[in-house]
A and B are shown apart, each in its own frame.
Chain A
Amino acid sequence: MNDAESPLSCTIRPTKYLSIGESMFHSGCGVIEILFPNMRPIDIEKISFVNNYTAALSIKMKIAKSASNQTGHTWVTGLKNYQLMPKPHCETGSQSYFHLMSSDFCKQPNEVCALRFILRQPSPNWKTFTLEEIYVHAKKTKDPTNENPKWLESVENLSASEMKPRDQAELKGLPDTEQVSEKMQEILQLAEKTVLSAPNVELGRFDIDGSYEINLLSYT
């Protein structure tokens, strides 16, 4: 997924834990709110985060009611009880990296204005629980203003008065561009093949030019 955009810069509010009045008790439930810049609706492609002892995650999305001519927003459940730690008392999954794609959601995360992450950690073993390094990636949209430069367009579209590139080249005494590009492609393919078939097996030498005189072991 190397063509994903860089993550959106969104405001992530610190985790708020559920409590009753002023009493200190482990409710095992926390909320993280995420707001998007300029409050404009986003289509979410991917959400990635690092777990920090959260057992299960639910996501609520604030969807803009642009359809049916209604104004205002509605809160919709996007993800219900997604297990991050299979056993909340144990360490498995407690500090792992997670990616949630739009296909993992119950409802498509389109036109989302804000997100609420509801964190649950029923086990009393852990002092705190939260999510870290939350990044939201939006779907890539095609830029309609991006036009191809004129010279990339098909040769047939040239008007009759303009000279075709092949004829221009012939005048100047250069070889046919089609043939040259074919040969270039062949060379490129051969080069790719040799690079790919290079063996990645180590030779097994541990010294440098026959010398293995070393200092004390390094601590870093």
Chain B
Amino acid sequence: MDSKLDNVAKTIDDIVKQLNGTTLHTQLKRAAQHEGEKSSVQLSSLKSDVIQSLKLSGWEKLLRNEVFRKMHSVQNTLDQAIPFECQKEPLMYMRKAQANWERRILKSMNSMCTELSIPLSRKRPADEQRDLLHKWNEMGTDEPDLSHFRPVYAPKDFLEVITSIRNPNYCSLTGSEIDDRSLNFESHWGLIQVSLQVPSLAELREIFAEFSLSNAHVGLDDSPDFPSDMFQNERNKLAKRVIDEKRSPIAQYFCRRGCPSGFRADLWQIALGVTVGHLDVLKYEQMKGYVLQHDLLVDSLIYKDVKLTSVNDDYYFVFEDYLYQVLLIFSRDTSVLELFSRSSATPPKSYIRVEKSSENVSTDKNTPEPDEQDGQPTKSTGSSVFGKIRIVDDLPDDAIDESDAADHSTGKLGLEEFAVVYPPNGVIPFHGFSMYVTPLCYLYSEPVRLYYVFREFYVRFFHRLHVISSHPQGIVTLCLLFESLLQSFHPTLFRHLQDIGCQPLKIAFKWLVRAFSGYLSTDQLLLLWDRILGFNNLLLLPVLAVAIFLFRQTNLLLVTNVAGVEASLSDLSTLQVIPLLQSVLFHS
């Protein structure tokens, strides 16, 4: 009991430290001062009077919402004795797997950079900045040559890495550890061979108790078949009241049974604790300025991803311009870096280059004009901003390490004061990354609001879907939960699929990584994301994946090859999410 109170005290301490110096803090102090100056306030009861008037004027609600938002991101206990990396990820082999994976991604970026002779970052000349500003709202009309770019990685590459994670201390039951050369029989049927703790069906029922069959849900009980006064009208009225109340915990709880479509945008915004005041708009404009100033290689990756995925989708191609406006800004947003303190990932880092002519450290580096030619010439492109680096044409793959890079550049390598994170938000987009934003475009028509809601969604949920971690809601646990649930519900189906050479996770993985975006129809997807937000839990994703397999089991059991399985599960657009989830969780 004492340790619990200690934990609560530490959490309060952390949150207060985080709130210290924020805009809300200044506004609260100003409001408190204003209240205190009123003539009706007496000195003897100053504190209680000010607190009372802050409650009445609505400031207390804003503070509560902000504290609720911070509670989602605060770490449990930052014990000084525990090394930071162990607090982010306690298991050593997971840390190693994530580090290797990150190294692979960086290698891929670096090799793309050297092959295409395009710098990772380039300052835009003034006329290019003006052009981009003019066509800011219609960047989709731009058709840059992206044929040489390839996505850094796709979900199937990530799946390969996850399935190859092994615990060196793991001894499978049937394997013999005396003779190391003997076959190590896997004791897990599926692809994931790590023994992470996954919740049982009983535990899932407890967590998702609101899905029980006695509760009415939006997406099920508000269909046109039912008279609207039974559920739909009540739900709409309740939604209006929740929006007027403006309290995050209430809005989040409301989302558990689904949001009526007309109110979803406001409800999500309140539940996430996202406020878009004029300061937030200014910050957005500031980051837009950063986009205009510097052109990053990551921008081309974003363009490529949007063109490949969202534009090809019948439901989402209309939002292409919004996607650029959100994702380009997202890569410049350094506030996203705070999520790395509670994730097993580390943001990629690089060092600022300095001109070769200046020997000493100069702080006023003039970035060169593009038509200036000096320094050593590079390959055929002759682009001068890259002229300061000598590029070695054929780098052997395994020779890329710190010392080699030092030979190739005149940068301030190793000097921490010149270390920067690349991209500024630390997130390198992969194939399909833009699909995290696309469903939100149906809810928010203003880019600023769309941006802040997406950022909060990413920082709270989506970042766990592409990082190797032992977190109870990380992608590895989600995969393991999918496999173990499917095995316990229908072992025959599972073995049948394995026998025909198609591991179920290979098909379900792309659904999980994208949180079903682009696979379900949009209204069903938004119903699913309602619940993810309402329960604050990503465990619904594997439950839905299992439900889909079970729903199509008769078909799947008759199929005899991999192509047939893929064809059977390729079209999910007719599925209804809520009945499927209920059937798995509560249909005995």
**Which residue of A is nearest B362, CB measured?**
A209
Binds B, one of A32-40, A92-100, A147-155: A92-100
Chain B min CB distance to A52 (Å): 8
Contact with A along B1-35 (1 / 0, CB 8 A): 01000000000000001101110000000000000
A58 CB to nearest chain B CB (Å): 20
Which residues of A sit under 8 angstroms from B367, Cβ to Cβ? 210-211, 213
User: Which chain A residue lies CB-closest to B409?
Assistant: A215
B169, B195, B287, B350: the one within 8 Å of A216 (CB): B350
The answer to whether B345 has its CB under 8 Å from any CB of chain A is no
A126 CA to B13 CA, complexed, in Å: 39
Task: Give the contact stretch, choosing among A74-82, A108-116, A158-166, A198-206.
Answer: A198-206
Question: Which residues of chain B have C-beta atoms less than 8 A from A128's C-beta?
Answer: 169
Query: Which of B374-382, B413-421, B447-455, B542-550 interfaces with chain A?
Result: B413-421
Q: Mark B342-357, 1 if CB is under 8 A from A, else 0.
A: 0000001111110000
A204 touches B171 (CB 8 A): no
Determine how close the nearest CB of chain A comes to the CB of B476; give it in whole angstroms: 10
B170 touching A217, Cβ below 8 Å: no
Interface assignment of A14: CB less than 8 Å from any CB of chain B = no
**In the complex, A207→B389 CA distance in Å?**
19
Instruction: Categorize the interface residue count of chain B.
Output: 35 or more
Docked-complex contact A217 and B353, CB < 8 angstroms: no
Contact present for B171 and A89 (CB under 8 Å): no
A48 at the binding interface (Cβ < 8 Å): yes
Known: A207-B294, A216-B114, A217-B110. A202 touches B169 (CB 8 A): no
List residues of chain B with CB within 8 A of the CB of A48: 81
Smallest beta-carbon distance B330→chain A, Å: 13
Complex: chain B residue closest to A93, CB-CB:
B90
Task: Give complex CA distance A210, B75 in Å.
Answer: 33
Residues of chain B lying within 8 A (CB to CB) of residue A201: 21-22
Shortest distance from the beta carbon of B230 to any chain A beta carbon, whole Å: 43
Q: How many Å lie between the Cα of A94 and that of B197 in the bound state?
A: 11
Please, how many angstroms separate the alpha-carbon atoms of A217 and B350 in the complex? 5
> Could you tell me the distance in whole angstroms from the C-beta of B564 to the nearest C-beta in chain A?
35
Contacting chain A: which of B55-63, B208-216, B398-406, B503-511? B398-406
Residues of the A chain whose Cβ atoms lie less than 8 Å from the Cβ of B119:
213-214
The answer to whether B418 touches A199 (Cβ under 8 A) is no
**Hey, what's the 0/1 contact readout for A98-139 against B, CB within 8 Å counting as 1?**
010001000000000000000000001111100000000000
Q: With the chains together, A210 CA to B294 CA distance in Å?
A: 10
A residues in contact with B20, CB < 8 Å: 196-197, 199-200
Q: Give every chain B residue within 8 A of A204 (Cβ-Cβ).
A: 283, 286-287, 333-335
- B587 at the A interface (CB under 8 A): no
Q: B334 to A206, Cβ gap below 8 A? A: yes
Judge whether A206 and B421 touch: CB under 8 Å. yes
A65 within 8 A of B: no
Q: Judge if B167 is at the interface, Cβ distance under 8 Å.
A: yes
Q: How far is the CA of A92 from the CA of B91 in the complex (A)?
A: 9
**B95 nearest in chain A by CB position:** A95
Q: Mask for A58-95, Cβ within 8 A of B = 1, else 0? A: 00000000000000000000000000001101111011
Out of A90, A124, A218, which one reaches B402, CB within 8 Å? A218
In the bound complex, residues from chain B placing their C-beta under 8 Å from that of A124 are 171, 173
B92 at the interface (CB under 8 A from A): yes
Kindly state whether residue B371 has any CB partner on chain A within 8 Å. Answer: no
Interface flag for B178 (CB, 8 Å): yes
Q: Does B274 contact A (CB under 8 A)?
A: no
- Whether the pair B120, A214 counts as a contact (CB closer than 8 A) is yes
Q: CA A9 – CA B169 in complex, angstroms?
A: 29
The complex places the Cα of A200 from the Cα of B197 at a distance, in Å, of 37
How many whole Å from B105's CB to the nearest CB in chain A?
Answer: 9
> B17 near A200 (CB under 8 angstroms)?
yes
Q: What are the residues of chain B within 8 A of A200 when measuring CB–CB? A: 17-18, 20-21
Contact between chains at B424 and A206 (CB < 8 Å): yes
Residues of A within 8 Å of B349, CB to CB, are: 217-218
B177 at interface by CB-CB < 8 Å: yes
Given the interface pairs A24-B178, A204-B287, A218-B350, the reply to whether A212 lies near B294 with Cβ below 8 Å is yes
Query: What residues of B have a CB within 8 angstroms of the CB of A52 in the complex?
Result: 169
Q: Among B195, B401, B411, B424, point to the contact of A91 (Cβ < 8 A).
A: B195
| Chain B 118-150: CB-based contact to A (< 8 A → 1; otherwise 0) | 011111000000000000000000000000000
B196 touching A215, Cβ below 8 Å: no
Q: A220 in the interface, Cβ–Cβ < 8 Å?
A: yes
Residues 45-65 of B contacting A (Cβ, < 8 Å): none
Among residues of B, the one whose C-beta sits closest to the C-beta of A87 is B197
CB distance from B188 to the nearest CB of A (A): 11
Min C-beta distance of B426 to chain A, whole Å? 10
Q: How far is the CA of A96 from the CA of B167 in the complex (A)?
A: 15
Q: Is the CB of A214 within 8 A of B86?
A: no
Q: How far is the CA of A99 from the CA of B92 in the complex (A)?
A: 20
Q: How far is the CB of B296 from chain A (nearest CB, A)?
A: 8
26 A-B pairs (CB sep. < 8 Å): A87-B197, A90-B196, A94-B90, A95-B90, A95-B92, A97-B81, A103-B2, A124-B171, A125-B172, A125-B195, A200-B18, A200-B20, A200-B21, A204-B287, A205-B334, A206-B421, A206-B424, A212-B294, A213-B119, A214-B119, A214-B411, A215-B408, A217-B106, A217-B120, A218-B350, A218-B405
The 10 closest A-B pairs by CB, nearest first: A199-B21, A206-B424, A90-B197, A214-B350, A215-B411, A127-B171, A217-B106, A216-B110, A92-B197, A215-B409
Given contacts A126-B171, A217-B109, 5 further A-B contacts (CB under 8 A): A201-B22, A209-B363, A213-B388, A215-B408, A219-B106
